[in-house]
Chains A and B, each alone.
Chain A
């Protein structure tokens, strides 16, 4: 026998083991979460610190830490242990949080956006806030008086299924159109106004492309930012009013998708699915318009083009529209520090807390009208920034059934099929509709 064969004989045996082991590991991957299910101990409920879990990217961390420092200054008796999970979308954040809860790690307070509020409330994981609210009526009344009543109304309607209050509505995002003033001027197109239409929008895209060669708009398949605004301004939505039935094959949805597909087909938009960075392209004069809530401000400030960009409400076909999503800070039922948790929540909704959200890396609009209309929010930002708060008067809460991440994926995949021209709009969206029906 040659040395090679001896070795292969050995490797064959070792190999069987390796092969078996790998297969086992894969088989097991789905079950890892089973280990710690069952009891709700651990986490904040058993430690001395008040534990808070929120979604925050690394670049926002410094600003959050300032807020926590301020809280510790005012309440030295409460030791806050805050943990930011650096994810970029709510679907992933909820997956992570749900996995942790299933594993028995229960924080005292968590940050939950509209996309997950009803889910968490309906699972009996949260403590009702009604007693706390009754006790601190003056504080809450003052807070609510400084807020668009719609936000309070929606919060009541969508974030609870049993009439109890689990969340106080907090800072939010709506969608408006961000545009490059330079490109509009260069193409000789008048800047958009609050009352502009889909036709005006399309004409602007055509003219800007013809005169400057720049793209008109960056068509995309992001559920909140690039699909919902077009549906809502066309008088339709992804789901019915109580989110129990998808309406993704509605003729108005198909019409909106066709409108978007035409932009791509006519090369007024860059091809979808790439890593095109809209704010940068706009700053470089390669793109005239892109949709955004408050968050593009980070890039716009980094690029130092605050004065060259404007913000207007979304163009309208049937009626004014914008999706809206807001944050809530519920107390977990398993928490043993509910009073401290409430103190922390009161701090978050205070004027001080709210003005902090005006600055938080610039990603969100503060819930308090007084702060959203103050200098701290409006300076160093594009003209028209106030449109983001005004959009609350006509906005629609982002439809968020329990299987939010799966719903979002189905919607975005179907929309992308239309944008790329791989499938006819009616076929692709009909298929999406069927997938969505299976998810609710």
Chain B
């Protein structure tokens, strides 16, 4: 804070020469600001406006007041989509951070340099493939007639179900597919965090007689806490915006079991042509992500090492 105030005061007293020196700075950020205004700020304002109208894309918009928001509270499908999205995001954070941490620890601790490169690349690779391709591949793998998963599970005598068509299994299946697709990213972040834990700290702890578990708990985790926090928030936000696998693999079905908020927004806006309602939905998503992220920052004061 203090430095910011000082900078502001300095700015007021700047000479014309100094002000001219800032010009390149403004020029550099100009394009980014312009893009932000056109593609982020303006649509956001428009979303606020649209959410107050009934509009079907083709006719003239009609003013609706708060109708769209009233509909939100009573629309069972919206509530279902919000619950699905929360389940998905929570499961996504837990599996990404939990298993990602184990993978990172395993790779960091036990592997030689060469294998480490290989394993790192292998884990990260699926992340480079686009969602559309991943979704289609998994649709084939899980196909009830000739899918790889179906084939091998049944040849091992394990129970096989029509994963994507079952209201019970469809969402867990998508959670697993999402995990497979994006774990590499969380893994790399956590691994990088692990590598920055200074060896002297471990050494000192060992000298003090701490065992492996104690060293992990008191040295590794606290030093890594900002990294873990970053990974948690990024994963949560990404999971909250999930759309592609729902559209491609299940179309939100069966019976709304995999309907996410973004998927439902798309459906309302571009399939039912209820653009005002879709705008209201997207504002809700905006609020939810903002509140959840704010809450995470607040809670982080308790556990993230500053």
Q: How many contacting A-B pairs (Cβ < 8 A)?
A: 187
Contact A91 B227 (CB under 8 A): no
Of all chain B residues, which has the CB nearest A15? B230
Question: Contact string, B252-263, partner A, CB cutoff 8 A, digits 1/0?
Answer: 111110000010
Which one, B116-124, B139-147, B173-181, B207-215, is touching chain A?
B139-147
**Which of A12, A34, A413 has a CB less than 8 Å from the CB of B254?**
A413
Rounded to whole Å, the gap between the CB of A202 and the closest CB of chain B is 21
Q: What is the distance, in angstroms, from A219's C-beta to the closest C-beta of chain B? A: 12
Judge whether A11 and B226 touch: CB under 8 Å.
Answer: yes
Say yes or no: is A2 at the interface (Cβ < 8 Å to chain B). Answer: yes
Find B305's partner among A5, A33, A125 (CB 8 Å cutoff). A5
Bound form: Cα–Cα A32–B270 in Å: 12
Q: Are B144 and A273 in contact (CB under 8 A)?
A: yes
Are the C-beta atoms of A271 and B286 separated by less than 8 Å?
no
Specify the main secondary structure of chain B where it touches its partner. Answer: helix
Known: A19-B293, A102-B58, A403-B273. Contact between A31 and B50, CB under 8 A? yes
Residues of A within 8 A of B285 (CB): 26-27
Whether the pair B241, A12 counts as a contact (CB closer than 8 A) is no
Q: Which chain B residue has the least Cβ–Cβ distance from A119?
A: B58
Is A274 an interface residue when CB atoms closer than 8 A count as contact? Answer: yes
Closest Cβ–Cβ distance, residue A42 to chain B (whole Å): 16
When chains A and B are docked, how far (Å) is the Cα of A95 from the Cα of B41?
A: 25
In the assembled complex, B57 has its CB within 8 A of some CB on chain A: yes
Pick the residue among A15, A30, A270 that contacts B269 (CB under 8 A).
A30
Q: Does A193 contact B (CB under 8 A)?
A: no
A302 at the interface (CB under 8 A from B): no
Min CB–CB distance A211 → chain B (angstroms) = 21
Contact across chains for B143 and A3 when beta carbons are under 8 A apart: no
A423 and B166 alpha carbons, distance in the complex (Å): 10
Given contacts A275-B140, A406-B272, A409-B271, contact A26 B241 (CB under 8 A): yes
Q: Quick one: which of A1-59 are within 8 Å of B by CB?
A: 2-5, 7-9, 11-12, 15-16, 19-35, 37
Residues of B within 8 Å of A403, CB to CB, are 271-273
Inter-chain CA distance A32–B36, complex, in Å, is 13
Q: Mark B194-220, 1 if CB is under 8 A from A, else 0.
A: 001110000000000000000000000
**Which of A7, A125, A275 counts the most chain B CB atoms within 10 A?**
A275
Q: Are B279 and A413 in contact (CB under 8 A)?
A: no
Any A CB within 8 A of the CB of B278 = yes
A102: chain B residues at CB < 8 Å are 57-58
For residue B107, which residues in chain A have a CB less than 8 angstroms away from its CB? none
Residues of A close to B164: CB separation below 8 A: 273
Inter-chain CA distance A37–B61, complex, in Å, is: 10
Cβ–Cβ < 8 Å partners of B43 in chain A: 28-29, 31-32, 34-35
Q: B162 contacts the other chain (Cβ, under 8 Å)?
A: yes
Query: A residues within 8 A CB of B305?
Result: 5
Chain B residues with a Cβ closer than 8 Å to the other chain, count: 66
> B265 touching A2 by the CB < 8 A rule?
no
Q: Which residue on chain B has the smallest CB distance to residue A22?
A: B237
* Minimum CB–CB distance for A195 against chain B, Å: 32
With A11-B230, A19-B293, A28-B40 in contact, is A409–B282 under 8 Å at CB?
no
The reply to whether the CB of B46 lies closer than 8 angstroms to some CB of chain A is yes
- A-B pairs with beta carbons under 8 Å apart, 20 shown: A2-B198, A20-B290, A22-B237, A25-B39, A25-B40, A26-B282, A28-B46, A30-B269, A30-B281, A33-B57, A34-B46, A98-B270, A102-B57, A125-B58, A275-B139, A402-B273, A406-B271, A413-B256, A428-B255, A439-B272
**Which residues of A come within 8 Å of B, CB atoms?**
2-5, 7-9, 11-12, 15-16, 19-35, 37, 91, 95, 98-99, 101-102, 119-120, 123, 125, 270-276, 402-403, 405-406, 409, 413-414, 416-417, 420, 422-423, 428, 431, 439
Q: A31-B47, A91-B271 are in contact. List 15 more A-B contacts (CB 8 A).
A: A4-B227, A5-B223, A12-B226, A19-B233, A20-B290, A28-B44, A28-B282, A33-B275, A34-B47, A98-B270, A271-B144, A274-B144, A409-B252, A409-B267, A417-B254
